[in-house]
Amino acid sequence: MSEKYYALRDAMKMDMAGNHYSRHVSAMTREELNSKSDIAAELGWRDWQIAKLQQQVKELAAENALIHTEPSFAAMMQALDAFFADEGVPERAMLAAHKILLPKRLPATDAVINEWMAKGAIAVRDAIVLAEDGSDLYETCTTVAAQLRAQGASKDKCNIPPQGWYCTRQSGHEGPCAAHPADGGNNEHD
C-alpha cells in the first residue's frame, strides 16, 4: 500500500478551530483508551456515524430536489380542478390543491422530523420528571416547546413578528410574514 491512510495533522490548528485535538487527548487519557485497538474501534464507530449522516444528507438533498421540481401538467390540472371544486372556502380549496402538488412521501425528511419530535418528547419528559415542585404540566410543556423553538432559531430567521409570535421566513424577506403563535396556536380553549 503506497498511499498512507492517515496524514500528518496540524493539532494546533484543530485546537484553534474548536479544541478538537486536546479534547480527544484528554478524553482518551481520562477513559484509559490506550491501545491502538481501542482507538481504532472508536475511530471506526465515528466513521460509521459520519457515513450514516452523509447518507442522510444525500437522501434529504434528493427529496429537496424533488420538492423543487416543477409539477407535471396533469398534476397542475388536477390541482386546479380541486381548487375550483370548493367554492365555499378558498383556504380549504388552496390546501387541497397544495396537497396534490406536493410529493406524496418524503421518507428521509419524515425520519428527521420524527427524530426531532422524539427529542422534543424526551425534553418534555425530562422537564416533567425534574419539576418536582408541583409545576403545572401545561406550563412546563409550553416552556419546553418555547426552548426547543429557540434552539432551532437561526440568525437568518425573520425578527419582525411581535413577542409571542415567530415567522417561518428568512430575515429580510419580501411581503408579509408567515407568522405563527410561538405556543403553536395552543391555548386554554383548544
For residue 23, pLDDT over 70 is answered with yes
Q: Are residues 163 and 139 in the same domain?
A: no
Residue 54: per-residue pLDDT = 92
Residue 189: per-residue pLDDT = 34
Contact 142, 126 (CB under 8 A): no
Residue 9: per-residue pLDDT = 86
Q: Are residues 162 and 188 in the same domain?
A: yes
What's the one-letter identity of residue 54? Q
**Rounded to an integer, what distance in angstroms lies between the CA atom of residue 171 and that of residue 160?**
8
For residue 131, pLDDT over 70 is answered with no
For residue 153, pLDDT over 60 is answered with no
Expressed as residue numbers, the domain containing 91 is 71-104
Instruction: Tell me if 92 is assigned to some domain.
Output: yes
The average confidence (pLDDT) of the chain is: 77
Q: Are residues 43 and 76 in the same domain?
A: no
Residue 132: per-residue pLDDT = 60
Instruction: Tell me if 2 is assigned to some domain.
Output: no
SS3 155: coil
Instruction: Tell me if 167 is assigned to some domain.
Output: yes
Q: Are residues 97 and 112 in the same domain?
A: no
Domain count, the chain: 4
